[in-house]
A and B are shown apart, each in its own frame.
Chain A
Amino acid sequence: MRSVVVFAVGLAVLLCGCKGATGTGPVVLHLSNWGGASDDPEFSRKITALYRQFERENPGIKVEIESVPDEYVQKMILSFVADAAPDVMSLDASSAGVFVNNGVLMDLAPFAKGDHGFRVSDFWPNVMAIDSRDQAIYAIPGDFTPLVLYYNKKLFDNAHVPYPGGHWTFDDFLQTAKKLTLKDKDGKVTQYGFNFPNWMPGWIVWLWNSGGDVLNPDGKSAGGALDSDKNVQAVTFLRDLVNVHKVAPNLSQTQSRGVDPFGNGETAMEISGHWEMSGFKTAPRLKMSDVGVTEVPTMLPQSKTVMYEVGFAIPKNARHPAEAWKLIKYLTGHGFQQTYQTTGIAVCARRDVATERAKAPREQLFLNIVPTARGPWGAQVVGYDFVEQEGKKMMERVLAGADPKQALTQTAQRIDSYFKVR
């Protein structure tokens, strides 16, 4: 009996004690991101040191990182509902629409205008545009990446195939991929030309480059856009890469390996973003000097690509907007970005840092592609995550034998009925 009382009192004391300090003290800024394990402890230490430097430069402000290792968007939505949002939120372009369009973020344009130490013109204009609406800026971009086509120079050399460079068509690509798909004596494939994970944020570039798109220009419906003949061609082409020409492994082959086959030196080409670079650096079977970068094949006069960006935003009813702005300015500033981008995670949204890093020729190739890149639909449209889920299912059905035209039409209908009720 006594032990129960002791336990209850103990628990009560403990719970109250943990409520967290309130009242006057330093302003603690909570900065949310999606975390992730680091391959490079040294880098993590450098970044931590940079946050401490910010605290020294701005006495009275403390920074606390809140990393959310999973379900980031869901957790953030919930935290806005409960008025418990972080002071500064990392905003991923692929889901920015949910937050920007629902009006939960602060317009940062007045801060940007009123601050002599900050220039909008330091940033790539089309990157800054992703989280902006007219004159309003809802997030200051930190970094971004256009999707590019990576190729393994060593595997090209082995097969005596010239490196791709500049404009090339779907057919040029197919012929190249065929030459890079190798078989042993028994007819078993030992090396694939291309890696095709069913990842819609990646394969959308094939639709764009055949002249199609997922949604109509107003972003409100898919019917007439997703089921267009051009998309049917693109999806058929992708299906045939796997099912007919067999220049890419099928999905179960890719998934059962659990590793990026390109990064493991097993396929000659893949389409992905700059973040792969941080993995390539430590990949055991791929030399960095063998990684080539070029534009995505296209049926148009000019190749197009998508770019994914990460920005920093302040919730509309933030408690410490002025301090939060200081932190954003620091995070997107030259000093922080210069160190941060050494991981190779992305391209800096600041043109000065990006240009400094482009002294390495491969980085310059990314910069060349930037003007042809456009932000993802997810930055404009609420509910685009549903579109991407449906797109993935559609591609699975097509790879399993469904008719592309029919699958695209059905998916467009499902998306439109979802948009109607949402």
Chain B
Amino acid sequence: RIYPLMRVTLTTSDGASVTVSRQLTKHSGFIEKAITDMAVDDNAVPLSAVAVDVDDATLKLVIEWLTEHRDDALPYPEKTDEERRADDIPAWDQAFVQKWDTKEDQQQTLYAVITAADKLDIKGLLDMTCKTLANKINGKTVEEMREILQLECDFTEEELAEIRKENAWCEN
């Protein structure tokens, strides 16, 4: 049973406590499991022992996303064999990601939210962040991909030439 008025207190890795409605946390497989494992049956659930490494700033973003998506259907549909697409991110989610300030901050914030979505087992948020990064690199050149993903090329010139030669079978 889900009690919409029930409150859940989450303690972050940097010591902050955030209290949210159970209506939001039902989207987190991790928190749902924690609540079930604790076998609580009242309207105040302390979750100070939740052992996830998520800081306060990231958790606030996660809660903001959960608030917007509180009415999303559950369980989140499995999409393993559906056609690839990353162009169906809702407008609110796009704006949510875009407002993360400077380019470098945006990438770091994105990675932090991805990590939080994974640890808290929020499938919808993980899916959205995954699509966001996919959209950033789709159709980009090798150099642009390196810049976006902040990668250092650790190939030798010979190795690069060999991979290009292999790829050429597909590019003709």
> Do they bind each other?
no
- Partner-B contacts on A (CB < 8 A): none
- Partner-A contacts on B (CB < 8 A): none
